[in-house]
C-alpha cells in the first residue's frame, strides 16, 4: 500500500508526541511530502549499548525508506542479520526563525518526520540498484540516468538498508509569534525570519566537455 488517497499510518504511543500533539499528522500525503522534499536524514540506533546518530542520504519508494551506508560500517552490517537492526530515522526541514517578545516564546517553523522500525540490509542485486538510483535521484532528480552506474566493486562497498514505513508520523510548526498579551507592548522586534535552502551556480569539473544538464537548470542549482 503506498500513496493511496486518504491512507494513514498507524497511530500509537510511539508515534504520538507528548507535547504539541495538534502539530502531528499521520496521513501518507503529509508524511511523504516531507520525506520527498529532502535527501538528508539522521539514522539512530544503538551500538555497544550506546546511542548513535549518523547523518546520511535516503530515498522514499512507496512505503519504503532506503538509507545509504557503507559495508564497512559494523552497525549497518547488523542490519544484514535475520533479526535486522532497530532504528529511528528523522528528517527535518527548517522553514523559519520565530522571534518573540520574550525569550521563552522563541521558536522555529519546521516540518519533520520520525520513523521507527527494524531495518534490513538490501541484498537483492536488482533492488539494490533500484535503491541506489532512487537515492541519487532524491538528491538531484534525473541524475541517475546521466552518470555511470556503479560497477561490481563499488556496489560491493555500498550498503543500503531498507526500512518499511509503518510506525511513522509527521510534525510541523507554521505561523507567527505566540506572544503573551502582557508582552505585546514591549519595545522589542518580533516576527518570523523565513529560512530556505539556497543553491549556488554549478561549477563544472575541468574534465566536463558537455553543457549544463537541463535538470540542473530546472532545479535552479
Q: Which CATH number fits the domain that encloses residue 74?
A: 2.30.110.10
Instruction: Flag the least confident range among 14-23, 34-43, 91-100, 203-212.
Output: 14-23
Within a domain: 2 = no
Tell me what pLDDT residue 1 has: 41
Element housing 75 (H / E) = helix 74-77
* Cell matching residue 53: 546518530
Q: Is residue 15 part of a domain?
A: no
Number of domains composing the chain: 1
**Within a domain: 51:** yes
- Residue positions counted in the chain: 221
What integer pLDDT is reported at residue 74 of this predicted model?
Answer: 66
pLDDT at 27 over 50: yes
Report how far Cα 179 is from the mean position of its chain's Cα atoms.
Answer: 31
**Is 49 a domain residue?**
yes
Q: What is the pLDDT of residues 100-134, one digit of tens each?
A: 999 999 999 999 999 999 999 999 999 999 999 99
Q: CA–CA distance from 219 to each of 34, 132, 166, 216 (Å)?
A: 18, 21, 31, 5
Question: In the Cβ-directed half-sphere of 173, how many Cα atoms lie within 13 Å?
Answer: 20
Confirm whether 119 is domain-assigned.
yes
105 inside domain: yes
By residue range, what is the domain housing residue 77? 21-199+206-219
Let me know if residue 8 belongs to a domain.
Answer: no
Global pTM?
A: 0.89
**Burial classification of residue 112, based on how many CB atoms lie within 10 Å of its CB (0-12 exposed, 13-18 middle, 19 or more buried):** middle
Please tell me the predicted confidence (pLDDT) of residue 221: 43
147 is a domain residue: yes
Between the ranges 73-77, 98-102, 202-206, where is the mean pLDDT highest? 98-102
Amino acid at each position: 500500500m503506498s500513496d493511496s488517497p486518504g491512507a494513514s499510518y498507524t497511530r500509537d504511543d510511539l508515534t504520538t508526541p507528548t507535547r504539541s500533539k495538534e502539530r502531528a499528522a499521520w496521513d501518507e500525503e503529509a508524511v511523504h511530502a516531507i520525506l520527498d522534499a529532502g535527501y538528508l536524514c539522521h539514522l539512530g540506533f544503538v551500538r555497544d549499548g550506546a546511542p548513535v546518530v549518523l547523518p546520511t542520504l535516503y530515498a522514499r519508494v512507496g512505503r519504503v525508506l532506503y538509507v545509504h551506508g557503507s559495508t564497512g560500517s559494523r552497525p549497518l552490517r547488523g542490519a544484514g542479520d535475520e533479526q535486522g537492526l532497530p532504528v529511528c530515522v528523522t528528517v527535518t526541514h527548517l522553514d523559519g526563525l520565530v522571534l518573540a517578545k520574550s525569550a521563552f516564546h522563541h521558536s522555529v517553523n519546521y516540518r519533520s518526520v520520525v520513523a521507527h522500525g527494524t531495518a534490513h540490509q538490501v541484498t537483492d542485486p536488482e533492488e539494490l540498484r533500484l535503491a541506489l538510483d532512487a537515492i541519487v535521484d532524491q538528491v538531484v532528480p534525473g541524475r541517475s540516468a546521466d552518470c555511470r552506474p556503479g560497477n561490481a566493486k563499488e556496489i560491493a562497498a555500498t550498503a543500503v538498508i531498507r526500512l518499511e514505513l509503518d510506525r511513522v508520523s509527521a510534525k510541523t510548526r507554521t505561523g507567527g509569534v505566540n506572544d503573551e498579551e502582557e508582552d505585546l507592548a514591549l519595545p522589542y522586534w518580533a516576527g518570523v525570519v523565513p529560512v530556505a535552502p539556497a543553491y549556488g551556480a554549478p561549477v563544472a569539473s575541468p574534465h566536463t566537455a558537455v553543457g549544463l544538464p537541463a535538470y540542473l537548470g530546472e532545479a535552479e542549482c
